[in-house]
Structure 1
């Protein structure tokens, strides 16, 4: 039985995979179903859902299509979460590898820097960074990565500390390989699996942080985001609650799918280790 089959046989994995598949399909289908700018006016303002089947989820205060916003908002969430997760894991893995393999003052300096970043709540760090640099998609990705790299760094360091004294590492030293080459060619690939296990947590965190920043008006003003849609609907919450409820449901289901997929992956890995 392959790893994918084992993953899909877990209830969490199957549920998470279905939710994530729907999320990805929505994101990829956005330019095909809604080729127009989702920020453009599509109809009368505050049209309620299911009153006009050309605008099935209605319109917001400016007459923009809510369903188009959901589809294009999924693209923004997908781009931000994957880019932020990749950047934070890459930075964390490099820092953790250098700290664990180098030891001594290198380990001490890098871990103290990691401690300094961990003392500041991640969202506050991202909020401060975006406030200072300015809102844009790249800045939001950098801000989230800046607040999330410490976890991968600590796990990578712990794995490298347990790997660096193994026989094949000693053989590489005897063969005359450069320490950095040993660290990144021999040690890091074997230390990566536990680090990659954090990917689902970081992706879910990135989706929530991006939505929160957009809710506060610090997202990319040129892109539709679910957080921005929720904030837009806040001013007419009593008369048109669907403007906040619909993107809120999309946000909850996406984050739930990421977490369930992560739980399924952890359970699959545990079963695989027990069978080994």
Structure 2
């Protein structure tokens, strides 16, 4: 709660958090605001926005409701972004904590694995993984996480290397605490804030990666996504540009909101450090 209050004090954090809350509310209420399958043919094709009360944002070239697709697409984008970020952060924290605390050969081996994943661009890794494993929601989340966990791992390792030399860690060793207990109870809480500040960047990148995969036809075919909506509008871009502009604008707003929350979170965490020093 204290962190949330600090986040709301910063202008970036307040604006970003309000936007994210609105997006989350819209996504959670999608089945109520736009009931039914968003992929079904609901009316005649290419209805212009704001000309038919039944379809406030018009329809695409197959007659699917753009408003319904936009709301249900928000659920997909936010779910993929948050799940992929959570998976990559957990994996990165575990690898970085193990490497930094164990040191020696364990550190060298794990860091070489991290280097191998950092060499390959995250999007190319996700693209290759989905192409081989098939397009589905869990596969897309796993593919994005595999391309994003290396940065949290390296940051966690750097923080652990600094924290393990502190007096409170030496005191924990003296009183006989188990190394795993020291890592989880003494070191992890102190290295977590900088890694959490990185989470906003990972969420934004995950949302964009999912949209790019869907744009290329590698998203889950059973779910409507903003990327697939943009790709669908590409075929009639000159005659019906709104089909790509509307989901594209939603994607931009979401990424900006996540970025603003990340900026506010960084300031809030730095402020907390200053306040407790």
**Cα separation, 1, equivalents of 2:104 and 2:14:** 45
- In the alignment, what sits opposite 1:105? 105
**Cα separation, 2, equivalents of 1:23 and 1:243:** 20
TM superposition shift of 1:186 = 2.6
TM superposition shift of 1:180 = 2.6
CA contact (8 A) 2:135 2:219 kept: yes
Judging changes above 3 Å, is the alpha-carbon distance between structure 1 residues 11 and 171 closer, same or farther for their aligned structure 2 residues? closer
TM superposition shift of 1:2 = 4.6
TM superposition shift of 1:60 = 0.6
TM superposition shift of 1:78 = 1.1
Normalised by the size of structure 2, how large is the TM-score? 0.95
**Cα separation, 1, equivalents of 2:62 and 2:10:** 44
Aligned: 1:179 with 2:176: no
Judging changes above 3 Å, is the alpha-carbon distance between structure 1 residues 2 and 172 closer, same or farther for their aligned structure 2 residues? closer
Aligned: 1:126 with 2:147: no
**Cα separation, 2, equivalents of 1:2 and 1:169:** 26
**Cα separation, 2, equivalents of 1:252 and 1:94:** 32
- In the alignment, what sits opposite 1:239? 239
Q: In structure 1, the residue corresponding to 2:48 is in which secondary structure?
A: coil
**Cα separation, 2, equivalents of 1:231 and 1:111:** 38
RMSD (CA atoms) = 1.5
**Cα separation, 1, equivalents of 2:101 and 2:192:** 14
1:133-154 deviation per Cα after TM superposition (whole angstroms, max 9, x unaligned)? 1100000100110000011101
| Paired residues for 1:58-69 under 5 Å | 58-69=58-69
Q: In structure 2, the residue corresponding to 1:198 is in which secondary structure?
A: helix
Matched residues, number: 276
1:152-202 deviation per Cα after TM superposition (whole angstroms, max 9, x unaligned)? 101110111111123332333334433233222332222111111111000
**Cα separation, 2, equivalents of 1:13 and 1:182:** 33
Specify every segment of 5 or more residues in structure 1 that has no aligned partner in the other structure, as ranges.
none
Normalised by the size of structure 1, how large is the TM-score? 0.96
Q: In structure 2, the residue corresponding to 1:188 is in which secondary structure?
A: helix
Q: In structure 2, the residue corresponding to 1:21 is in which secondary structure?
A: helix
- In the alignment, what sits opposite 2:250? 250
Judging changes above 3 Å, is the alpha-carbon distance between structure 1 residues 180 and 5 closer, same or farther for their aligned structure 2 residues? closer
CA contact (8 A) 2:57 2:65 kept: yes
Aligned: 1:8 with 2:16: no
**Cα separation, 1, equivalents of 2:228 and 2:24:** 20
**Cα separation, 1, equivalents of 2:160 and 2:13:** 29
